[in-house]
């Protein structure tokens, strides 16, 4: 059942990323930089 451990970690990580992104977006702290702007 090692797969279940990895899956749970992946789910928690994805939820943390989504929640952090939403919070930063609502707080106005997110810099919306596209790949084109960053690449030059």
Given a contact cutoff of 8 angstroms between Cβ atoms, the answer to whether 3 and 9 are in contact is: no
pLDDT (0 to 100) of residue 15: 95
pLDDT at res. 35: 56
Q: Which domain holds residue 11?
A: 2-39
Residues 1-40 pLDDT 10s: 788 999 999 999 999 999 888 887 777 765 665 555 555 4
pLDDT at 32: 62
Split into its structural domains, the chain has a count of: 1
Residue 12: predicted pLDDT: 95
Residue 30 near residue 24, CB atoms below 8 Å: yes
For the CA atoms of 11, 12, 13, 15, the dihedral, rounded to the nearest 10 degrees, stands at: 80
3-state SS, residue 18: helix
* The model scores a pTM over 0.95: no
> What are the φ/ψ torsions at residue 36 (nearest 5 degrees)?
-65, -45
């Amino acid at each position: 059942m090692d797969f279940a451990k990895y899956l749970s970690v992946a789910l928690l990580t994805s939820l943390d990323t989504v929640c952090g992104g939403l919070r930063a977006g609502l707080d106005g702290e997110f810099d919306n930089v596209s790949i084109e702007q960053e690449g030059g």
